Structure 1
Amino acid sequence: MTGSAGDGLLVVADSRIHRLPAQVKIVALFVFVLAVVSTPAGVFWAFALYGALLVWCVVLAKLPPLVVMRRLAVETPFVVFALVLPFVATGPRVEVLGVSLSQSGVLGSWNVLAKGTLGVVAAIVLSATTGPRALLAGLERLRLPSTLVAILSFMVRYLSVVSDDLQRMRIARESRGYRGGRAGHLKAIAGGVGALFVRSFERGERVHLAMQSRGYTGRMPLLSESGAARVQWVEGLAISLAAVVIAVTARVVGL
């Protein structure tokens, strides 16, 4: 079961990862990605272990495999780039099924695919187990600048509002005979985008005035007063610390 529109990408479930504070999961994601990126591309066993850790994490989070697979589509541009790389890269060539490929390109393609996929899956786990408000509260607990947290919170809040405006404008165009698909209609689309920008800007001005009239001084109230216990840090960073051990071992032992 996926979350509602207000929950963003959250997948509603009762798991140990869902119950971890957001700041713990953010740090865990950063450490895990750093370990993966620092691993030499040729140490294949290390990436197999990273994959096993992520599969275990997905199981712990009780995430449906189909949801994870659908969200992996976000890395499609990187997959296309990785598939083209062996054909366009320079250096020594190797024959594979009668096709000449660059050795450095093949290794580079593997590097992009492996590290990109592992990073995207780790980000999917974070987004699927943490609601937008909890994520902002976690960033706040990690001492992200308050102005940036406020900008992100407004973006999360008003993204759906702007999307609804865009949907209503589309319905209004179609009710007046617009069908799209012709270059001559680009003018109508450009006008709609401009009107949406002006409307959003004016809404922002009204919201700012309303906040000031209610005592806004430039700093938003804290989203969360509670921190994470030591046991939650240990539990949340366990997989990431295991990834660090794998990365260090890969650097020392190599192939």
Structure 2
Amino acid sequence: MNISINTIEQESCKNSIIHDLDGRIKLILTFIVIIYAVYTTDLLVLLLMEMYLIALVLLSKISLSYFAKRILMILPFGGFIAIFQPFLKAGAVLYTLPFGLTITYEGVVFGALLLSRLIICLSTVVLLSSVTPLESIVNSMRKLGFPKEIAMILSMTIRYLFLFFDELENIRNAQKSRCFNIWNKKTSYLWRLKQVGYTIMMIFLKSFEKGEFVYFSMLGRGYTGEAVAYNKQSKIVKLDYFIIILTVAIIILIELFHLNGII
């Protein structure tokens, strides 16, 4: 499955129980789950939370393969920290490897905990972005009282992401028309690497030029840093309250069971 910004945005505009929740409720749920995942130190508790998130994914009618692929695309950026913990953290030695490397029990447990927390956090963020359009997330942040500077920066970032993606697609199509293939092993690796460098440089230059053009256009239409963005009014309904109460209740029950030694 080819995942792009357009694919993510199309997925977020579908209809389901989770898609129809108010954006503010979805943001609050995201913060609650992430904070609890960082707080807890029990792997079984984290497993139960991941199962709850998967249940929400099924309710939102999102493909599990799509959901898993998005997580796997981001996981390596933080997963390497967890992978190296068994070699770095002091403790009881489980295995001794060549070159003086040792794997400790405490390192394995701590690495598994970090990896589990990371998966929970990524699952929550991927779920949020899969059921909420990007513009709706920014509007929800404004309604929740986030600083308007942050909301404005995110709003501009969203617009430039699509512009950036379009420019990248144009460059890639131009390269394909000239029979360029980065995975073609018949051409020199250094030459391919140089072409990738040229592509990155071209994207940067085009993005800079477009950004400057758009900014001056905004100034010409009266934009100032004090500009107020339009927020679509929406009401929080019973379903929104039910979902947030259900999530909080599940977290409280899991924590009570954990404290009493049931799990």
TM over 0.5: yes
Pairs aligned (count): 251
Q: Residue 94 of structure 1 aligns to a residue in which SS?
A: strand
Q: How does 1:26-105 map to 2 (within 5 A)?
A: 26-41=27-42, 44-73=43-72, 74-94=74-94, 101-105=103-107
1:16 aligns with 2:17: yes
Q: For 1:134-174, what per-residue CA distance to the aligned partner results, in whole angstroms no more than 9, with x for missing partners?
A: 11111111222223222222221222222332333344456
Q: For 1:109-133, what per-residue CA distance to the aligned partner results, in whole angstroms no more than 9, with x for missing partners?
A: 2201221112211222111110111
- Could you tell me which amino acid in structure 2 is paired with residue 119 of structure 1? C
1:200 is matched with: 207
Relative to structure 2, which stretch is displaced further, 57-66 or 191-200? 191-200
Q: Give structure 1 stretches of 5+ with no counterpart.
A: none
- Could you tell me which amino acid in structure 2 is paired with residue 47 of structure 1? L
2:109 is matched with: 107
Q: For 1:87-123, what per-residue CA distance to the aligned partner results, in whole angstroms no more than 9, with x for missing partners?
A: 443211236xxxx741111211220122111221122
1:149 is matched with: 151
Q: Distance in 2 between matches of 1:22 and 1:82?
A: 32
Relative to structure 2, which stretch is displaced further, 26-35 or 196-205? 196-205
Q: Distance in 1 between matches of 2:70 and 2:168?
A: 24
> How far does residue 185 in structure 1 lie from its aligned partner after superposition?
6.2
**Conservation of the 8 A alpha-carbon contact between 1:23 and 1:139:** yes
Distance 1:38 1:243, change over 3 A: farther
Q: Residue 19 of structure 1 aligns to a residue in which SS?
A: coil
**Conservation of the 8 A alpha-carbon contact between 1:46 and 1:246:** no
Distance 1:176 1:33, change over 3 A: closer
Q: Give structure 2 stretches of 5+ with no counterpart.
A: 96-101, 183-187
Relative to structure 2, which stretch is displaced further, 71-80 or 5-14? 5-14
Distance 1:88 1:62, change over 3 A: same
1:212 aligns with 2:214: no
Distance 1:6 1:67, change over 3 A: closer
Q: Distance in 1 between matches of 2:120 and 2:53?
A: 8
TM-score (norm 1): 0.80
Backbone CA RMSD of aligned residues: 3.4
* Larger RCO (CA under 8 A, 6+ residues apart): 1
2:232 is matched with: 225
TM-score (norm 2): 0.78
